[in-house]
Amino acid sequence: MTTDAVKLQSADPAWSILSAVKKSALWIFLLLVALLTLFPVVIALLGSFKSNAELTGGATILPQAWHFNNYAEVWQQAHFSTYTWNSLFISSFATVGTLLVASMAAYAVDRLHYAGKRFYVALQAATMFVSIGAVVLRPQFELMVKLHMHTSLWGVIIILISGHASIFFILLSFVKAIPRELDEAAMIDGCSKLWIYTRIIFPLLKPGLGVAALFTFRGAWNEYILPLVFTMSQPKLQVLTVGLAGLRYGISAAAQTHYMMAGACLSILPLLIVYVLANKSFMQVTSGSVKG
Least confident of 25-39, 94-108, 127-141, 178-192: 127-141
Residue 56's pLDDT is what?
A: 75
Do the beta carbons of residue 94 and residue 220 sit within 8 Å?
Answer: yes
Please state the rounded mean pLDDT for residues 120-145: 80
> Which pairs count as long-range contacts for 188-196, CB under 8 Å and 24+ apart, including other chains?
193/111, 193/112, 196/111
Could you report how far apart the first and last alpha carbons of the chain are, in Å? 33
Identify which of 212, 256, 216, 221 has the alpha carbon closest to the alpha carbon of residue 85. 221
Do the beta carbons of residue 97 and residue 157 sit within 8 Å?
Answer: yes
| C-alpha–C-alpha distance, residues 72 and 80, integer Å | 9
Confidence class for position 292, pLDDT limits 50, 70, 90: very low
| C-alpha–C-alpha distance, residues 49 and 66, integer Å | 5
Is the per-residue pLDDT at 257 higher than 70? yes
Residue 31's pLDDT is what?
A: 93
What are the tens digits of pLDDT across the range 193-216?
Answer: 889 898 889 988 888 888 898 889
Question: Which is more confident, 292 or 154?
Answer: 154
| C-alpha–C-alpha distance, residues 97 and 213, integer Å | 10
Residue 33's pLDDT is what?
A: 92
Is the per-residue pLDDT at 103 higher than 90? yes
DSSP 8-state assignment for residue 178 = S
Do the beta carbons of residue 255 and residue 248 sit within 8 Å?
Answer: yes
Please state, for a pLDDT cut of 90, what percent of the chain lies above it: 17
The CB density around residue 268, as the number of other CB atoms within 10 Å, is 13
Q: Which residues, in sequence order, are bridge partners of residue 255?
A: 249
Please state the rounded mean pLDDT for residues 71-75: 82
| C-alpha–C-alpha distance, residues 71 and 80, integer Å | 9
For 239, phi and psi rounded to 5 degrees?
A: -100, 180
In the three-class reduction of DSSP (H, G, I as helix; E, B as strand; rest coil), residue 283 is classed as: coil
The CA-based angle 24-26-27, given to 5 degrees, is 65
Is the per-residue pLDDT at 288 higher than 50? no
Please state the rounded mean pLDDT for residues 162-178: 89
